[in-house]
Amino acid sequence: MRNRNSTVAYVIFGLIAIGILASILSNPGTFIIPILVFGVIFFLYKFPPNRWRQPKRPSSSRFQKGKRRNATFRVIQGNKDGSDEPPKYH
What pLDDT is attached to residue 59?
58
What pLDDT is attached to residue 36?
93
What pLDDT is attached to residue 10?
94
Integer Cα distance of 60 and 74 in angstroms? 28
Q: Which residues have CB under 8 Å from 44's CB, separation 6+?
A: none
Q: What is the pLDDT of residues 24-83, one digit of tens each?
A: 899 888 888 888 999 999 999 888 887 766 666 665 555 566 677 788 888 888 777 767
Q: pLDDT band at residue 2, thresholds of 50, 70 and 90?
A: low
Q: Which residues have CB under 8 Å from 16's CB, separation 6+?
A: none
Q: Model pTM?
A: 0.38
